[in-house]
Structures are given as structure tokens and as C-alpha cells.
Amino acid sequence: MRLTKVLGYYCLVLLMAVVLIVSEDAVILHSDRICRGLVIADVAVGGLSAAEAEQKVAAVLQERWSRPAAVLLYDGQRWEVGWDVVAGSPDAKALVQQAYGIGRTGSLLQRLSEQLLAKAGGRQISFGITPDEGKLRRIVAAAAASVDRNAVNAGIRESADGLKFLPEQTGRRTDIENTIRQLRRSIESGNTEPVPLRVRETPPALRMRDLQGIDGMIAAFSTTYSEADENRAENIRIAAKFLSGALIRNGEVFSFNERVGVRTPERGYMQAPTLSSAGVVMDWGGGVCQVSTTLYNAALLADFKVVERSAHYDPPGYVPVGQDATVADGQIDLKLKNTREHAVYVQTTAEAGTLEVRFYGKRRQGEPTVRIEVAEKTVQVAKTIVKQDPTLPLGQEVVESPGRNGFIVTVQRIRLRGNKEISRENISTDEFEGTDRIVRVGTRSIAGTIPK
């Protein structure tokens, strides 16, 4: 009996709830009021007539259009985003008509479902603003251009007062994609809060603490180049710039190719003459071997160990024979090991036709001086090949190829304390093959003469 009463009570309550809901549905269907709980963007329009809602939404839209669509902020800098990033503008009347239709169409169950959802705050109508992706990207990119900066490594500058250490600087890089997403959401939602420009810090590769212990220049070597060959001179300057600022730590094996990178037009390199097995040819980055050669000689003077080094096919003229070091992308490298007790900082300059590589490190007390010299040089005199040529007048000689002497060269590193030699070390033995001298001699007889 008691259970029956309880069930009857709950059934009555349920019936009353259904009657109320159905009654509400009937009220909505036969009234000019918008379903309660509905929101257009941030504007509550539930329970309002269409005219009242339209007036309220139009006022909000007018206020929104009187200010920027969004504002970007970073460290006191401000960039306003205009409404030109949006195609068209929202129509208050159309938005209200959309809201007015909610809970009025479909089956009873569909209408009741929409009404309940609206009352629970789960039904919102957006302004339908869709910003143009390309325009947002241009705005963010313009802001990034004024904010972004590359990280600057710590460095060394030599002055009349000695070494000056230049502190590092942290870089900044805008997260463009993340900023665009935040900006789009802000505009679409009607959020009036400024959007922060998403910026991350980029650390320098070299800090002041990495240079601790360096107290002076320990070695330097220079070569000269012609600025008349503009492409070659530019290649030398580019490679020198990439090389400068390298820190070679104690025990580290330094790779020229890894530091300087590939020699391609995308990285600024130009076509210029370069030595190869086929002779002098045009290639991207022609002249970079002069940078590797100058580095090689500075490293020898700094008492570095040579791990990998190759000579040119023909000896270049900017260093003594046997003291060159050729390189080629992905094929031939120059590798040097710092066998000193402390790190060494490399500084390179290329200006006014002079390329110089300087090594800075910790000078050891009583450290010997180093001299590089050609210890032995064997000349292989070019042979002369004579070819008879019936197209030339009798006895006339024409040099087809001047030929070139060959060399076998041994280079040594000599260590001295004062004027006394304390050690001598063979660094390399290179063979440069010569080419024959070719002379064509005429055999064609001339009218009125008797060939011998």
C-alpha cells in the first residue's frame, strides 16, 4: 500500500512536469518571444521579442565595429587588427531570426529538446565572423618582424687595451601559428581582451662562461686574394663569416664542412673558378678552399692535431707548396683536433683582399713557438713532347700546352724555445703530378723549297 502511494506520487509529479513542458512549448509556439536561455555571442536574448532582441544585438554589433577586431600586445607594443580581416559583417536581423526559430520547428520531441538545451545554457549562436587566414598571417608576420631577433653568441674583440669580451644576447622568435589561432578565436568569439603575441626565447650557442680562461691570441695566419674576381671574393667572405666565432673545445675534433655548411646559391654562394682534377672549372663556392687553407695553417701554428686533410690536385698560389687544404661538399673535409688544455676561439676576417684566421686561447707558460716549413721539395721537370703538324709551315713551332713541373713536398712543424729547436714533426708529404709540355712542329713544305 505504501509503495503504491509513493509510485503514485512520483507519477503525478512526472505528469505535472510533462504538462508544464508541453505548456511551455505551446506558449513558445503561440508567442512572439525567443526561447529562454538563448544567447547570441555574448548577448542574452532569451525571453525577448524579435524586435527587442534585434535592437540589443544591433547595439552590441555597432559597439564592436567601433573598435578594432582584436589587439595584439607584446612588451608594451600594440598592433590593432582592423575589421578588414573579415569578409562582410554580421546581420542583427538574420541572427535574431535564427534564434527565434529555435524550439519552434520539428516534432514535439525535437522542439522540447531544443528548448531544454537552451534553458540549460547549452545553446549559443555566434556572430558568424570568419577572419581571412592570409590577412591574419600578414598582420602577425608584420608584428613578428619588429619583435624577432636572432640570438647573438658571446665573442671576443681585440683592442689596444687587450681582449674585450662581448656578452651573448638571447634571441626571440614569434610562434606565428599559435598566435594566429589565438587571434582567430578572439575575433570569432567577440572576446574584447587583447591577444598576447606568442614569443619564445632562443638561446645563444655560445655564452660568456664558455670563453672563460681565454687570455690572448695564440696563433694567426693570413693569405691574400684578388677582389677583382668579385664572385670568388664574395665566396671567401661568406665562408669566413660562417667560420668566425667557432669555439673548439679541448679534445674536440672540428669539421670545416660541418661548421661552414654546404656551398649553394641559396646560402649566398656564387660560381667562381676552382681547382679540380679536370683543371680550373667554375663551381658554386669557388674560393672557399682558401678559407680552409688559411684555417689549416693557423691550426698548425696553434699546435692542433691534423685528423683529416687533403691537398689540391694542383698547388694554389696563395700559400707555399704543400701547405694547402682543399674541401668539397660531402666529399673532402678538413678536420682538426684541439689537443690543448683549454678551448680555442676562432675569429676570421676577410676584407681589402686579406683573409686572416686568428686563434684565441689560454697561453701556457713557457709554451714553445711553432714554425712551419717545407723540409723537402723534389721537382719533377715536365717532359717535352713534340708532335709533327702538317697544317703548319715547315719548321714553325706552336706550344700546344706549356706543361707543369711536378713536386713531391714534405712539410714539417718545428717547435722552438727561444732559438733552440726542441722537436720536429712531419705533417704531410704531398705529390703534385706534373703535365707534359706539348709542342707542335710544322711539316708542310712551302712552294719553291725543298724539305730537308
Does the pLDDT at position 213 exceed 80? yes
Task: Give the number of other CB atoms < 10 A from CB of residue 21.
Answer: 15
Does the pLDDT at position 55 exceed 90? no
Instruction: For 153-191, write each residue's pLDDT tens digit.
Output: 999 998 888 899 999 999 999 999 999 999 998 888 777
Does the pLDDT at position 230 exceed 90? yes
Does the pLDDT at position 375 exceed 70? yes
Q: What's the pLDDT at 117? A: 63
Q: If pLDDT is split at 50, 70 and 90, which confidence band does 229 have?
A: very high
Greater confidence, 110 or 238? Answer: 238
Does the pLDDT at position 103 exceed 70? no
Residue 15 backbone dihedrals phi, psi, to 5 degrees: -65, -40
Contact 440, 395 (CB under 8 A): no
Residue 395 backbone dihedrals phi, psi, to 5 degrees: 85, -10
What are 309's three cell numbers? Answer: 686533410
- Among 106-115, 374-383, 398-407, the range scoring the smallest mean pLDDT is 106-115
Q: What's the pLDDT at 448? A: 46
Instruction: For 66-102, write each residue's pLDDT tens digit.
Output: 788 889 999 999 999 988 888 766 767 777 777 776 7
Q: What's the pLDDT at 319? A: 95
Residue 412 backbone dihedrals phi, psi, to 5 degrees: -125, 155
Q: 368-452 adopts what CATH topology?
A: Resuscitation-promoting factor rpfb fold (2.20.230)
Q: What's the pLDDT at 435? A: 84
Q: What's the pLDDT at 72? A: 95
In this structure, the dihedral spanned by the alpha carbons of residues 56, 59, 60 and 61, taken in order and rounded to 10 degrees, is: 120
Query: Stretch 16-26: mean pLDDT, rounded?
Result: 46
Does the pLDDT at position 241 exceed 90? yes
Cα gap 164→216, rounded to integer Å: 10
Does the pLDDT at position 19 exceed 50? no
Greater confidence, 239 or 382? Answer: 239
Q: Rounded mean pLDDT of the chain? A: 85
Q: What's the pLDDT at 3? A: 55
Q: If pLDDT is split at 50, 70 and 90, which confidence band does 17 have?
A: very low
What are 279's three cell numbers? Answer: 683543371
Greater confidence, 303 or 190? Answer: 303
Does the pLDDT at position 331 exceed 50? yes
The type of residue at 12 is: L
Does the pLDDT at position 15 exceed 80? no
Q: What's the pLDDT at 115? A: 63
Q: What's the pLDDT at 33? A: 80
Q: What's the pLDDT at 344? A: 97
Query: Stretch 241-257: mean pLDDT, rounded?
Result: 97
Contact 350, 240 (CB under 8 A): yes
Cα gap 192→71, rounded to integer Å: 8
By C-alpha distance, which of 344, 330, 83 is closest to 214? 344
Does the pLDDT at position 61 exceed 60? yes
Q: At what angle do helices 108-119 and 2-30 cross, to 10 degrees?
A: 90
Q: Would you say how long the chain is, in residues?
A: 452
Q: What's the pLDDT at 67? A: 82
Cα gap 285→302, rounded to integer Å: 27
The type of residue at 20 is: L
Side-chain-side CA neighbours of residue 88 (13 Å): 7
- Among 63-77, 251-265, 314-328, 329-343, the range scoring the smallest mean pLDDT is 63-77
Does the pLDDT at position 292 exceed 70? yes
Q: What's the pLDDT at 165? A: 93
3-state helix/strand/coil string of the chain = CHHHHHHHHHHHHHHHHHHHHHHHHHHHHHCCECCCCCEECCEECCCCEHHHHHHHHHHHHHHHHCCCCEEEEECCEEEEECHHHECCCCCHHHHHHHHHCCCCCCCHHHHHHHHHHHHCCCCEECCCCCECHHHHHHHHHHHHHHHCECCECCEEEEECCEEEEECCECEEEECHHHHHHHHHHHHHHCCCCCEECCEEEECCCCCHHHHCCCCEEEEEEEEECCCCCHHHHHHHHHHHHHHCCCEECCCCEEEHHHHHCCCCHHHCCCEEEEEECCEEEEEECCCHHHHHHHHHHHHHHCCCEEEECECCCCCCCCCCCCCCCECECCCECCEEECCCCCCEEEEEEEECCEEEEEEEECCCCCCCEEEEEEEEEEEECCCEEEEEEEEEECCCEEEEECCECEEEEEEEEEEEECCEEEEEEEEEEEEECCECEEEEEEEECCCCCCCC
Residues of the chain with CATH 2.20.230.10: 368-452
Does the pLDDT at position 309 exceed 70? yes
Q: What's the pLDDT at 14? A: 52
